[in-house]
Amino acid sequence: MAVQQKTGRTHGLTMFVPQTRRDIALRHLTQKLTSRPVGKRAMQSLLVGKFKEKSIDIAAP
């Protein structure tokens, strides 16, 4: 759980609340890439490993 909290504060913050022009440009580029089928598949393959720990269901018995 600590990993998810830390990742959310460091990496998630810039995507949802951009702090700099660079953050805004990166968010805009990501949105453009993921709006197209080829770009969407490319982004999924690049990011799939980063979200593995987030797929853990902590509420499951």
pLDDT tens per residue, range 42-61 = 878 877 766 665 555 566 55
Instruction: Name the residue type at position 17.
Output: V
pLDDT tens per residue, range 2-16 = 776 776 677 667 777
Q: What is the 3-state secondary structure (H, E, C) of 1-61?
A: CHHHHHHHHHHHHHHHCCCCHHHHHHHHHHHHHHCCHHHHHHHHHHHHHHHCHHHCCCCCC
pLDDT tens per residue, range 14-25 = 777 888 899 889
